[in-house]
Each structure stands twice: as structure tokens, then as C-alpha cells.
């Protein structure tokens, strides 16, 4: 038996039939998204649950409901209206929402996640209709424990929390970032098998530095400047303590924290409760997986490459660290790995002796390493770095649209026959260059992947070149689900690297022969299963798994057996 909520629980009959026991009656059953089956309530359940006369007489099954909703969705005129349509469905009948999403995942993923979710975040207060998750602010953080006691769910295993300070290339969005946490958890369920009844989005409203938000009449967040420093950490301390007390088995994903706090928060809490930062670790893992695939496609080793990372925020640093660890896994020492890695921020190549954040200093080049570059005393810019380093791989995490130019690409083609160029910034409006531009400037020699979805590009031969999407959704659902199923006490760096290798191995097995460095999004569930299995195995190897050990050959069947899928259970009155 699983007590999921004060309103319902699941259980199995002696013959193994799974059922749901519901503790509410009448309109309340229909108003709770987790218990509403709409026109799929059979007559005996309508009578037992006090629904008789409240629903249309005709009984329809889940497939008929999916067809009806999908047809209505298709009539929505804009991406934002499609997003609103799906969110309204989620608040009305959550299981039907996931059934629709499961059947149209590739089509709907850009709606519920990047890029459309960015627009939803910006208009969150104006479009607000229904509460979801937990909202903690400076007005109630002292009551965090009681706020969590009010939560709808009693057995939460996956939490996505954001302070909305660095959203998807659009920056500080105040309270609106809660939409990101909601969207991420939808992918944990639809793509990663995590039960929606065991997941919880959390908004950490510590204020906003956007005066236009604070002064807007419809803004729903607190109207003061952001907390910083010790007051900010004291706020997060109270949140973490409340999570540990209410949901001691939960995995926590930090989402869209600014670089000023992301690294501090990750290190401060990752051993307090099992947690990870998708912007740092997920971005690094998915980028490394694509680079490993590209190296296999070229018949080369990662350790032979010289890698330029353009952008040194949370995502850029995460990618740089992943590349360093990948180079070390390929046989290099730490110093050798760093010698092949070049990281730039808005001021140019990171060099020792320059004032910079602590996390950047670990990636800064010794001045002796560029002694022969003939510079004029300033930090080398991107073009100089590409030319002087002999870069074979260029990764964009800058959030600066148009920052990769034809000159940059032509310089890359002089260093290698098939340069690897990944403009990974999200959303599309922040992408460093379009795939069409990168292919044209490289005479269609470049191996290109992006962070957001792009249409195929037609080559001069007439062939359509598919553009791989280095989407973090290939990593975080499996990483989280693996930590849940292993009951991990920590999400280790090795578990993140195992997720990255699993994605690369999946691509190599099924798609590399077709020239793809990432799988299609339509295969997200199978990718997540592969990643989950690898993460569980690594959790055991690292000694952080506390669940009963599963034989390696039995891990995949175990994962598939626990992978949540939308289906209506028989209901009984409780």
C-alpha cells in the first residue's frame, strides 16, 4: 500500500490488482486533478463516490479522452495558448494530461519546456489560474515546516526548486520561475517514469531586482529586492530543513539559480540531502555525451581534442568541468586535461591573475600557457583563442545570440576537417548561431547540435541534415529516477558522469551510423531508462545507495517495472 496523500492511496488486492482508495466524495473527487477521471468513471464508481448525476451519461475510456483532447489542442493558435491549454488540463485531470503528453511527447516537449515555457514564465502572474506545489517567500519562510505540512502529497521523492534568478537566458523572473519547476517535473514523469504523485515543484521567492516586476499591478511575488549573502542562505537553510523533515527520502534538483549562488548552494547542501543542479551538472553531462558521440563519428578520441567553451556562467562552468573529467577518463592527467580546455567569459579567455569568481579560477589558464600567442596584454578573444589553441570543438553557453560568426567557423575549419560546434544556449533567441549558418560557413563540414529544437537543414546535395538537440531532458529525468530507485544518500559526480556515458552509449548503439550525436526526443523514455540503470549501478559502486542491492542483470527489468505510465486504476471509496 502507498499512502500518497490524505485524499487517496494505492493498494493491491490479494490477486495483485492495483486500485486506488479515495477519501473524498462528490464534487471534490472531480475537482482534484489527481482523482478526476472525468467521463471515464464507470457507473459503480459514480454511485460509490457520490458522482451520480454529476457527469455526462456516456462512459468513455482513456484513449477516447486522449483523442478528444488532442483534437482540441490542435486548434490552439499559438505556442503560448497550447501551453495554457495543457496546463489547464493538468490542473483538471492530471492523468489524462500525462496520457496526452506521452503520446505526443516530441511535439509537446517544446511547449511544456524550452522554448515556450520561457514565454509562460514571463507572463506567469498575468496568466495565473491554479496553485501548484509549494510557494515559500520572505513572508512565510519562518513557517516553512507548516507550509510543507499543507502539501497535497505525503510521499514526495522528487522536488524541483528554483529562486527564479537566472531563467532560460531571460534572467531574473521573480515568482514566475515556478513555471520552470512545473515543466521540469512534467518531463520527469512523461519522459523519466517518476510518479506525478511523488513530485513537487517549489518556488523560493526571495524577491526580485526587476523594478518593472515589483511595480506591475498583476505581479504575484513579494515586492522587494532579492535577498543576497547570509540572509539568502538563511532562507535556503530553512527550506532545506523543512524538506528533510517532511520528505526525508526526496531528491532535490536546484533549478535556474544565478551563478552568484548556484555553486555555493550546490556545495552547501549536496551532502545534507541528495541534490544536484541541472544547469551545472545536467548541462555538463549532456554536452559531454554529445561531444563523445561526435568524436566517435570522426573516429577520434576525446583526449586528442582541444576544446573551447564560450560562456562561463553556471552552464559554461558545468560543461567545462564535464569536459575536464571526460578528458581525464580518457587517460589524461588533470593538468593535461586542463591544458586542452579553454574557457572564455565576456572579458575573454580566463587567465590567472585576473579578478574573477572562485569557480572560474579553477578553469583559468596560466599565463605561461599562452606565452607564444603574441597578445597585446589583453585577454585573447574568441577568434584569437580558436586560432591560437588549434580548437577542434567549440561549445556555446554564453546566452549571447549571434556570437558565433563566419570568421569563427572558418577558423575552426582550418584546425580540423570536421569541427564540432554546439551552440547550446537556450532558448532559440539566445542561440550563438543557427545550424543553417554554421553548416553554410563550414561548407557543411561541421558537426552541429543545439540546445533548443531546430528544423533539419538542407545540404547542397539536397539531403536533409538532422540537427541533434543537446537537451538536458536526456539526463535529468534518469539521474533523478536513478537516485530515487537506489534511495541514494547523495548524488555523486560519478553518478552524473555515468548518466553522460549512458546517453553517449545509447546514441552510439542506435543513431551514430546515421550521423546523429543525440537521439531524437521521441525516444526520451528509452534514453531515460538507460540513464536510470547506469545511475543506479554507479550509486551502488559509490556506496551511496541504501536500497536493497539489485543484481546488475536485474536493474533494467526493475526500472521498467517501476516506470510510471498513465492508466486509470479502479477506485474504491475509503
Task: Report the relative pairing of strands 420-423 and 464-465 from DSSP bridges.
Answer: unpaired
Task: Place 376 in a pLDDT band, splitting at 50, 70 and 90.
Answer: confident
CATH 1.20.1370.30 intervals, the chain? 2-60
CATH 3.40.50.10380 intervals, the chain? 75-273
| Per annotation, catalytic residue among 7, 98, 113, 568 | 113
CATH 3.40.50.720 intervals, the chain? 281-470
For the chain, what is the mean pLDDT? 96
| Per annotation, catalytic residue among 37, 82, 153, 184 | 184
Residue 375, pLDDT above cutoff 80: no
The 10s digit of each residue's pLDDT in 288-342 is 999 999 999 999 999 999 999 999 999 999 999 999 999 999 999 999 999 999 9
Angle between helices 314-329 and 259-269 (to 10 degrees): 50
Q: Is CATH 3.40.50.10380 what the domain over 75-273 is classified as, yes or no?
A: yes
Residue 377, pLDDT above cutoff 80: no
Distance CA 237, CA 165 (A): 18
Catalytic, 506? Answer no
Distance CA 203, CA 135 (A): 5
Residue 449, pLDDT above cutoff 90: yes
Name the class of domain 2-60: mainly alpha
Residue 1, pLDDT above cutoff 70: no
Q: For residue 229, what are the β-bridge partners?
A: none
Q: Which fold has domain 281-470?
A: Rossmann fold (3.40.50)
Output the pLDDT for position 2. 67
Residue 230, pLDDT above cutoff 80: yes
Spell out a b/e string for 473-506, using b for 16 or more CB atoms within 10 Å of the CB, else e.
bbbbbbbbbbbbbbbbbbbbbebbbbbbbbbbbb
- 229: Cβ contacts below 8 Å, ≥ 6 apart: none
Output the pLDDT for position 553. 93
Percent of the chain with pLDDT over 70: 100
Distance CA 141, CA 124 (A): 22
Residue 81, pLDDT above cutoff 70: yes
Catalytic, 113? Answer yes
Spell out a b/e string for 165-198, using b for 16 or more CB atoms within 10 Å of the CB, else e.
bbbbbbebbbbbbbbbbbbbbbbbbbbbbbbbbb
Residue 353, pLDDT above cutoff 80: yes
Whether 120 and 127 have beta carbons less than 8 Å apart is answered as yes
User: Three-class SS of residue 12?
Assistant: strand
Report, as an integer, the average pLDDT of 362-387: 91
The 10s digit of each residue's pLDDT in 147-161 is 999 999 999 999 999
Report, as an integer, the average pLDDT of 241-261: 96
Output the pLDDT for position 475. 98
Residue 374, pLDDT above cutoff 80: no
Output the pLDDT for position 378. 87
Amino acid at each position: 500500500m502507498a499512502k500518497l496523500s490524505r485524499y487517496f492511496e494505492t493498494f493491491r488486492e490479494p490477486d495483485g490488482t492495483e486500485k486506488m482508495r479515495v477519501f473524498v466524495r462528490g464534487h471534490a473527487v472531480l475537482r482534484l486533478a489527481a482523482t478526476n477521471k472525468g467521463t471515464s468513471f464507470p457507473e459503480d464508481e459514480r454511485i460509490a463516490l457520490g458522482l451520480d448525476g454529476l457527469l455526462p451519461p456516456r462512459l468513455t475510456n482513456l484513449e477516447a479522452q486522449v483523442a478528444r483532447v488532442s483534437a482540441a489542442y490542435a486548434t490552439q493558435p499559438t505556442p503560448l495558448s497550447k501551453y495554457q491549454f495543457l496546463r489547464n488540463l493538468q490542473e483538471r485531470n492530471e492523468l489524462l494530461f500525462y496520457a496526452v503528453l506521452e503520446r505526443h511527447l516530441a511535439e509537446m516537449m517544446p511547449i511544456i519546456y524550452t522554448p515556450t515555457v520561457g514565454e509562460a514564465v514571463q507572463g506567469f502572474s498575468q496568466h495565473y489560474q491554479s496553485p501548484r506545489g509549494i510557494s515559500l517567500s520572505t513572508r512565510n519562510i519562518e513557517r516553512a515546516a507548516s507550509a510543507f505540512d499543507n502539501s497535497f502529497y505525503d510521499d514526495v521523492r522528487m522536488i524541483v526548486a528554483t529562486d527564479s534568478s537566472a531563467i532560460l537566458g531571460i534572467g531574473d523572473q521573480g515568482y514566475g520561475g515556478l513555471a520552470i519547476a512545473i515543466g521540469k517535473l512534467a518531463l520527469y514523469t512523461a519522459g523519466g517514469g517518476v510518479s506525478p504523485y511523488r513530485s513537487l515543484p517549489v518556488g523560493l521567492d526571495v524577491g526580485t531586482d526587476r523594478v518593472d516586476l515589483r511595480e506591475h499591478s498583476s505581479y504575484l511575488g513579494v515586492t522587494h529586492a532579492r535577498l543576497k549573502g547570509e540572509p539568502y542562505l538563511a532562507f535556503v537553510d530553512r527550506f532545506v530543513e523543512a524538506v528533510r523533515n517532511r520528505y526525508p527520502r526526496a531528491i532535490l534538483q536546484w533549478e535556474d539559480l544565478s551563478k552568484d549562488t548556484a555553486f555555493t548552494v550546490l556545495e552547501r547542501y549536496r551532502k545534507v540531502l541528495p541534490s544536484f543542479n541541472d544547469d551545472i551538472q545536467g548541462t555538463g553531462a549532456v554536452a559531454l555525451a554529445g561531444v563523445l558521440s561526435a568524436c566517435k563519428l570522426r573516429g577520434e578520441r576525446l583526449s586528442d581534442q582541444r576544446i573551447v567553451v564560450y560562456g562561463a556562467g553556471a552552464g559554461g562552468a558545468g560543461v567545462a568541468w564535464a569536459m575536464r573529467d571526460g578528458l581525464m577518463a580518457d587517460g589524461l592527467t588533470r593538468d593535461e586535461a586542463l591544458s586542452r580546455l579553454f574557457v572564455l567569459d565576456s572579458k575573454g579567455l580566463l587567465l590567472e591573475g585576473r579578478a574573477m569568481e572562485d569557480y572560474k579560477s579553477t578553469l583559468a589558464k596560466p599565463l605561461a600557457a599562452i606565452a607564444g600567442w603574441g597578445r597585446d596584454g589583453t585577454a585573447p578573444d574568441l577568434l584569437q583563442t580558436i586560432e591560437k589553441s588549434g580548437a577542434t570543438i567549440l561549445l556555446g553557453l554564453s546566452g549571447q545570440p549571434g556570437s558565433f560568426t563566419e570568421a569563427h567557423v572558418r577558423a575552426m575549419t582550418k584546425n580540423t576537417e570536421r569541427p564540432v560546434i554546439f551552440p547550446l544556449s537556450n532558448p532559440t533567441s539566445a542561440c550563438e548561431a543557427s545550424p543553417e549558418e554554421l553548416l553554410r560557413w563550414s561548407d557543411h563540414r561541421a558537426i552541429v547540435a543545439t540546445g533548443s529544437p531546430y528544423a533539419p537543414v538542407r545540404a547542397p546535395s539536397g539531403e536533409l541534415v538532422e540537427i541533434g538537440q543537446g537537451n538536458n531532458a536526456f539526463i535529468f529525468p534518469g539521474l533523478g529516477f536513478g537516485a530515487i530507485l537506489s534511495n541514494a544518500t547523495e548524488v555523486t559526480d560519478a553518478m552524473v558522469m555515468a548518466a553522460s556515458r549512458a546517453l553517449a552509449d545509447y546514441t552510439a548503439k542506435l543513431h551514430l551510423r546515421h550521423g546523429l550525436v543525440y537521439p531524437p526526443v521521441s525516444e526520451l523514455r528509452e534514453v531515460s531508462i538507460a540513464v536510470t540503470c547506469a545511475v543506479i549501478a554507479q550509486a551502488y559502486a559509490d556506496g551511496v545507495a541504501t536500497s536493497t542491492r539489485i543484481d546488475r542483470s536485474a536493474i533494467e527489468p526493475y526500472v521498467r517495472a517501476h516506470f510510471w505510465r498513465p492508466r486509470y486504476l479502479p477506485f474504491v471509496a475509503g
